[in-house]
Amino acid sequence: MSSAPLSAEQTERYQGHLSLAEIGAEGQRRMLDSSALLVGVGGLGCPAAQYLAAAGIGKLGLLDDDIVERSNLQRQILFSVDDLGANKAEVAAACLARLNPDVELVPMVERLSASNAAGLIEGWDLIIDGSDNFATRYVVNDACVLAGAPLITGSIYQFEGQVTVVRSPLGPCYRCIFPAPPPEQAPCREAGVLASLPGVVGTILATEAIKLAAGAESSLVGRLLLIDVREASFRSVRVKRDRGCALCGEAPSIERPTAVAVCRARAD
């Protein structure tokens, strides 16, 4: 970690963190020296990226090969009508550059897959998974567990969301919690999603990433946080490592990120 003191501008910018005993100047310097890769710059990725940049994560990767569509604007808060047709990662990087010049922004116009996941996550201190499908979540989980990289992962559907943190071998991986993928859900524009739900869940993703980057522990290792904004409820369930897990169990058989077959749920 760099021992260089914070500049006067940084001291003023991050005063909210400097006043917290749990973060302070040391934790803020840790953040400025850290890097995080955000997989997906959509509903979850937009608020997560905004708070990570504001908090002073030193290097932020924005991985997404999608373009901005009009249907995204209901919930993906980094984009506007002026951005329609442009790449999400590049638009987000330009927007966040205006927010905090301390942050090195790395737009990555690629789609993560089983064949490139290991290379894409290499060299990043933290991975935040804001993807919108189960297949990608399993591949990201595999790559992070095999590389020993902390993973903060979340999902949303209609009025509900989930968040957990994977820090193998300290706790279970995504495959331990969900040994087999459920039927793939319809995308948000078909199934519906409350506009503010991604903000709630994406902010929690950023919160856990900030804690880890600052040198604190995450309380969501070994816990699955369940959010229901229709009922205004938050609850968490304990989840344990599966000794028979093919990825992180006692006799693992998965040696590289592996795609899973996911059935599409019926839209009706």
Buried b (16+ CB within 10 A) or exposed e, 102-121: bbebbbbeeebebeebbebb
Residue range 190-216: mean pLDDT, rounded: 96
Residue range 175-193: mean pLDDT, rounded: 80
Structural domain includes residue 260? no
- pLDDT at residue 196, as a whole number: 98
pLDDT exceeds 60 at position 263: no
Structural domain includes residue 63? yes
State the Cα torsion 36-100-77-232 to the nearest 10°: 70
What confidence tier does 267 reach under pLDDT thresholds 50, 70, 90?
Answer: very low
What confidence tier does 28 reach under pLDDT thresholds 50, 70, 90?
Answer: very high
Select from 64, 63, 259, 264 the least CA-distant residue to 175.
Answer: 259
87-95 contacts at long range (C-beta below 8 A, 24 or more positions apart): 88/41, 88/42, 88/45, 88/62, 88/64, 89/41, 89/62, 89/63, 89/64, 89/65, 92/41, 92/45, 92/46, 92/49, 92/62, 92/64, 93/62
Structural domain includes residue 266? no
- pLDDT at residue 43, as a whole number: 97
Q: What is the pTM of this model?
A: 0.94
- pLDDT at residue 68, as a whole number: 98
Structural domain includes residue 14? no
Looking at 104-118, 195-209, 254-268, which range is the least confident one? 254-268
Would you call 99 exposed, middle or buried from its count of C-beta atoms within 10 A (0-12, 13-18, 19+)? Answer: middle
What three-state secondary structure class fits 140? helix
Domain that holds residue 99: 20-238
Q: What is the CA radius of gyration of the chain?
A: 18
User: Sign (positive/negative) of CA torsion 165, 89, 187, 193?
Assistant: positive
Number of domains observed in the structure of the chain: 1
d(CA 35, CA 80): 27
Structural domain includes residue 217? yes
pLDDT exceeds 70 at position 134: yes
Structural domain includes residue 148? yes
- pLDDT at residue 37, as a whole number: 98
pLDDT exceeds 60 at position 264: no
Alpha-helical regions (H) of the chain: 8-13, 15-18, 24-33, 45-55, 88-97, 117-121, 134-147, 174-177, 188-191, 197-213
What three-state secondary structure class fits 153? strand
d(CA 206, CA 220): 13
The answer to whether residues 97 and 53 touch, using CB atoms and an 8 Å cutoff, is no
Residue range 127-146: mean pLDDT, rounded: 96
Q: Provide the annotated active-site residues.
A: 188
pLDDT exceeds 70 at position 1: no
- pLDDT at residue 268, as a whole number: 33
- pLDDT at residue 40, as a whole number: 98
Residue range 117-129: mean pLDDT, rounded: 98
CATH, residue 83:
3.40.50.720
d(CA 126, CA 230): 31
pLDDT exceeds 70 at position 225: yes
d(CA 178, CA 175): 5
Structural domain includes residue 116? yes
Structural domain includes residue 9? no
pLDDT exceeds 60 at position 209: yes
